């Protein structure tokens, strides 16, 4: 006989816990409680049947901890001495990652987490691997819980594109146009083309004069080199002046030399670059636009091409390369794509164009 499934309840704040309790809960079957301080709710916990509950990184008094474990619940304790919460229930935002920036980039959580990852990589510490995997699982879960704001369109491109350049401006206008068309912009989260696309999305509700003011302010610090602090500080100032929904970014600490841009409204930062790449490309079901880039962008092209190559007509995702000269001469990716696509459904999904307007037109709903 098939057993009825137990609905899952994700509880990620003390307020949510209290609301579920106030609704008349008597048992915790199916509860997944992430990183909540419950030290003041021991009496309430003792009044609930813990069978089938899961507590991830929560703070519990000993009595409540024993009650849950003895009653058939699972408790995954917090991992000490980490510069991050391995069980976090939400994505990052720029203010969290860049907290303390006035004391220099090295003082920020983003820099400290990267330093931790490098230190433990060098040691070959298995506890680091476990903590990073738990963190990335939590990020994937939080990303899945984002509200539906329209089809996601990926914008990929090089991190070396400087603020103030014509290519940067073009990427800003691309992100703005996509957001105005009701699409959610998702990027790899770094500087350059990725920052520009998230910035453009955040400026979707502003007029052209505001876009020009933002671009002028940012051009004063064209690159994150030599100072990430100056680069991020100018970006945060522009964000405060022109608040808006900058879409989603999915960066990684694997590329520690690339700081996350501040214009994405939701930042799903991973330790694992492989997992991050897979999530990034799989989320962009509305299509992916590739601006000029180097090795990282080329990798993203072919990682997205693989499911199209093996897929049928119904599973194709539009893949649009922008800049004919770059993709045919500088990095001749396009001829190889054409060879792969010959006599396959993939032929209908790949495009090479020379302007952002052409690219945007190919992914608009």
Please check whether residues 209 and 303 belong to one and the same domain. yes
Q: Of 50, 76, 102, which residue constitutes the final position of a domain?
A: 76
In a domain, 182, yes or no: yes
Q: How many Å separate Cα 275 from the centre of its chain?
A: 11
| Predicted pLDDT at 2 | 45
How far apart CA 189 and CA 263 sit, in angstroms, is 9
| Predicted pLDDT at 164 | 97
Please check whether residues 339 and 190 belong to one and the same domain. yes
Question: For the chain, what is the mean pLDDT?
Answer: 93
Number of domains in the chain: 2
Please check whether residues 71 and 188 belong to one and the same domain. no
In a domain, 104, yes or no: no
Please check whether residues 70 and 200 belong to one and the same domain. no
Q: What is the CATH number of the domain that holds 183?
A: 3.40.50.450
| Predicted pLDDT at 363 | 87
Q: Of 76, 103, 135, which residue constitutes the final position of a domain?
A: 76
Strand order in the sheet with 9-11: 9-11, 31-34, 54-56, 74-76
| Predicted pLDDT at 128 | 83
Burial call 169-205: b when 16+ CB within 10 Å, e when fewer:
bbbbbbbbbbbebebbbbbbbbbbbbbbbbbbbbbbe
Burial call 245-269: b when 16+ CB within 10 Å, e when fewer:
bbbbbbbbbbbeebbbbbbbbbbbb
Please check whether residues 36 and 162 belong to one and the same domain. no
HSE at residue 45, side-chain half, CA atoms within 13 A, is: 30
CB < 8 Å & 24+ apart, contacts of 110-115: 110/259, 110/260, 110/269, 111/228, 112/83, 113/83, 113/84, 113/253, 114/253, 114/256
In a domain, 92, yes or no: no
How far apart CA 251 and CA 266 sit, in angstroms, is 11
Q: Which residue has the tokens 């080329």?
A: 298
In a domain, 17, yes or no: yes
Please check whether residues 180 and 326 belong to one and the same domain. yes
101-118 tens-digit pLDDT: 999 999 999 999 999 988
**In the numeric block, which tokens belong to residue 168?**
């940067």
Strands 248-249 and 266-267: parallel
Segments forming the whole domain that contains residue 53: 9-76
Pick from 217, 136, 88, 276: which is nearest to 96 by CA? 88
| Predicted pLDDT at 325 | 97
| Predicted pLDDT at 7 | 75
DSSP letter for each residue of 145-175? TS---S-EEEEE--TTPPTTSHHHHHHHHHH
In a domain, 143, yes or no: no
183 in helix, strand or coil?
A: coil
Please check whether residues 199 and 321 belong to one and the same domain. yes
How far apart CA 361 and CA 178 sit, in angstroms, is 9
Please check whether residues 311 and 190 belong to one and the same domain. yes
**In the numeric block, which tokens belong to residue 85?**
């919460």
CB < 8 Å & 24+ apart, contacts of 230-233: 231/191, 231/259, 232/98, 232/101, 232/105, 232/259, 232/262, 233/101
**In the numeric block, which tokens belong to residue 157?**
């491109």
In a domain, 178, yes or no: yes
In a domain, 314, yes or no: yes
How far apart CA 237 and CA 212 sit, in angstroms, is 15
Pick from 309, 307, 311: which is nearest to 284 by CA? 307
**In the numeric block, which tokens belong to residue 244?**
């808006």
CA distances from 59 to 56, 81, 224 (A): 9, 15, 38
How far apart CA 362 and CA 236 sit, in angstroms, is 32
Please check whether residues 310 and 167 belong to one and the same domain. yes
The region, left, alpha or beta by phi > 0 then psi within -120 to 50, assigned to residue 257 is alpha
**CB neighbours of 215 closer than 8 A, spacing ≥ 6?**
163, 164, 168, 169, 172
Please check whether residues 67 and 159 belong to one and the same domain. no
128 in helix, strand or coil?
A: helix
| Predicted pLDDT at 81 | 86
Q: Of 58, 76, 94, which residue constitutes the final position of a domain?
A: 76
Q: What is the mean pLDDT of each run of 10 residues along the chain (365 residues)?
A: 64 96 95 95 97 95 96 91 93 98 97 88 71 95 90 94 96 96 95 97 98 98 97 98 98 91 98 91 91 92 94 94 97 97 95 93 80
Please check whether residues 179 and 46 belong to one and the same domain. no
Please check whether residues 71 and 156 belong to one and the same domain. no
In a domain, 2, yes or no: no
CA distances from 152 to 41, 147, 286, 310 (A): 40, 12, 5, 22
């Amino acid at each position: 006989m098939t057993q009825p499934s137990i609905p899952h309840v994700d509880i990620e704040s003390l307020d949510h816990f209290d609301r579920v309790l106030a609704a008349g809960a008597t048992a915790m079957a199916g509860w997944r409680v992430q990183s909540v301080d419950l030290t003041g709710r021991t009496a309430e916990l003792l009044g609930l049947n813990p069978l089938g509950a899961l507590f991830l990184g929560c703070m519990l008094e000993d009595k409540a901890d024993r009650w849950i474990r003895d009653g058939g619940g699972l408790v995954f304790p917090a991992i000490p001495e980490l510069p991050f919460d391995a069980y976090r229930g939400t994505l990052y935002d720029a203010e969290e990652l860049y907290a303390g920036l006035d004391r220099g980039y090295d003082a920020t959580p983003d820099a400290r987490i990267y330093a931790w990852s490098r230190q433990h990589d060098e040691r070959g510490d298995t506890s680091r691997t476990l903590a990073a995997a738990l963190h990335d699982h939590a990020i994937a879960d939080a990303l899945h819980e984002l509200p539906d704001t329209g089809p996601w369109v990926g914008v990929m491109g090089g991190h070396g594109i400087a603020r103030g350049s014509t290519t940067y401006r073009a990427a800003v206008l691309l992100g703005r146009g996509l957001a105005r068309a009701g699409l959610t912009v998702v990027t790899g989260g770094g500087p350059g083309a990725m920052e520009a696309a998230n910035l453009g999305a955040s400026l979707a509700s502003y007029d052209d004069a505001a876009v020009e003011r933002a671009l002028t302010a940012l051009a004063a610090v064209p690159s994150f080199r030599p100072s990430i602090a100056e680069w991020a500080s100018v970006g945060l100032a522009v964000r405060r002046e022109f608040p808006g929904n900058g879409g989603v970014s999915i960066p990684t600490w694997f590329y520690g030399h690339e700081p996350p841009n501040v214009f994405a409204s939701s930042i799903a930062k991973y330790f694992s670059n492989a997992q991050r790449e897979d999530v990034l490309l799989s989320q962009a079901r509305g299509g992916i636009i590739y601006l000029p880039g180097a090795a990282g962008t080329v990798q993203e092209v072919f990682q997205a091409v693989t499911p199209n190559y093996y897929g049928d007509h119904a599973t194709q995702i539009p893949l649009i390369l922008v800049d004919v000269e770059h993709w045919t001469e500088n990095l001749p990716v396009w001829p190889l794509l054409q060879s792969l696509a010959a006599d396959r459904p993939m032929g209908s999904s790949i495009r090479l164009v020379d302007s952002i307007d052409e690219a945007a037109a190919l992914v608009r709903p």
